[in-house]
Amino acid sequence: MEIKTVGVVGAGLMGSGIAEVSARSGLRTRVAEAGEDSLAAGRKRVERSLERGRQGGKLSDEDVEQISGRLSFSTDLGELADCDLVVEAIVERLPDKMELFAKLDAIVPERAILSSNTSSLPIIEIARATRRPDRVIGTHFFNPAPVMKLLEVVRTIATSDQTLEETRDLGEKLGKRVIVAQDRGGFIVNLLLIPFLNSAVRLYESGFATKEDIDEGMKLGCGHPMGPLQLLDYIGLDTALFVCDALYAEYAIRDYAAPPLLKRMVAAGYLGRKSGRGFYEYEAAETL
């Protein structure tokens, strides 16, 4: 099956970014969101991104017009009925995702692939909510989706070879470098990344080094584009805590256990860039 029409459920930071990538790649793209305000915010986020591309000379007026023409936005899941693949990018709660997949299963054609952008939840549990577990797969995009080149495709024990290959083909059409992971907590990237980030928090928490020296050490000593504490602020400390908890629940390994400081900062509302304060302070909270 050639994927020509893509649906995205969720118009937040990740969902709107995935939708933009899809439309930029020449695909008809339907975006669905539960509330009008969230939907409008997602649309504006895409429009701002395209305008930045135009002002920066990466997109022409014609490009922006064509990309915008491929996008549609609705609060009605029924608008996804003609999609070949639907990407779920809603809140990281398993019951919510299972409920959504059950609804999508009844709406989209039998041929359609249902995928989740989850970064840590088990895809097979989500697939159980459908009558097509062989057509369910993980498509883990990275933030910001229009910029980051990686797509982590997650295959469950029930995912068919055809579904994997069609999803891989789509990822390459979107201009992504596709890597394939097993359906285990954290997949590839977070399985390796979370212990590193937790170690940085523990190092800072113990008073061993300043946050600036920890970040500069990893940037200048290891060639990382961003230090670990800066990266946590960018990811969102609440998101990082959720992933830590999910990984620790699956593996019961101390490296995945959230450091006390991370928990306290989330409890205080210090979530990073999106709240205006995390390990560092920012002039204004990011608009998500």
Catalytic annotation present for 224: no
Q: Determine whether 140 is an active site residue.
A: yes
**The token pair that represents 6 in the structure block:** 């893509």
> Does the active-site annotation cover 119?
yes
Other beta carbons within 10 Å of 65: 11
Catalytic residue from among 22, 115, 116, 119: 119
Contact of 138 with 85, CB cutoff 8 Å: no
Catalytic residue among 22, 117, 120, 190: 190
Instruction: Say if CB 265 and CB 204 are below 8 A apart.
Output: no
Catalytic residue, chosen from 115, 152, 166, 198, is: 152
Pairing mode, strands 85-88 and 71-74: unpaired
Q: Which of 22, 115, 140, 166 is catalytic?
A: 140
What long-range pairs does 276-280 form, CB within 8 A, spacing at least 24?
278/232, 278/233, 278/237, 279/204, 279/211, 279/229, 279/230, 279/232, 279/233, 280/211, 280/229, 280/230, 280/233
Three-class secondary structure of residue 181 per DSSP: strand
Select from 193, 104, 99 the least CA-distant residue to 142: 193
Residue 116's Cβ-count burial label (10 Å; 0-12, 13-18, 19+) is buried
**123 with 99: CB under 8 angstroms?**
no
* Residue 152 is a catalytic residue: yes
Please identify every residue annotated as catalytic: 119, 140, 152, 190
